[in-house]
Structure 1
């Protein structure tokens, strides 16, 4: 009987030690994750890659095309339609022979001109 009692106590001590180690690892892990979360929330630590800008000719051309279509003199918070579309409307008036005009008719017209 003593032999059984002794082995049970040793197992209990081993389990108690394993629980303490697991608890210590949990507490340390929680502290590390909490610290990381705090640093990220304060903006002191960032996991995002540094933003790079495309300076290829195609990118510059696309940016210039977009910038030619917006009206920077209008506040986008006040009138977003005018901010986004005034450049297009001023540079592309509705032709007299058409009831409306938009990007697709403009594109079709330019493709037709290039094909000719």
Structure 2
């Protein structure tokens, strides 16, 4: 069975907190499995991804587990946020919605807390 997964957050801090909990639980539940996990952040949730933000430490911790954190360039532009403002673990993708479609086409499960 494949366990590749994309977690999608596009709203507020409560949704990001729920996603981070889901991600930790996912890794804890599958210690012997090899899989790829992605957190895709777009929309207003992009404002939670700052290097000095309250979620920076938690994002670094889940990235250390192997999670890839991808953020939407369109959301950055929409909210006038510079790429340099982001947490260092963030990888910018051109469009969050396209990233979601691509991962689902590759067989990733989709989870939106």
Q: Normalising TM by the smaller chain, what interval? A: under 0.3
Which structure ranks higher in relative contact order (CA pairs < 8 Å, sequence separation ≥ 6)? 2
Identify the structure with the greater helix proportion. Answer: 1
Identify the structure with the greater strand proportion. Answer: 2
Structure whose alpha-carbon radius of gyration is higher: 1
TM-score of the two chains, using structure 2 as the length reference:
0.19
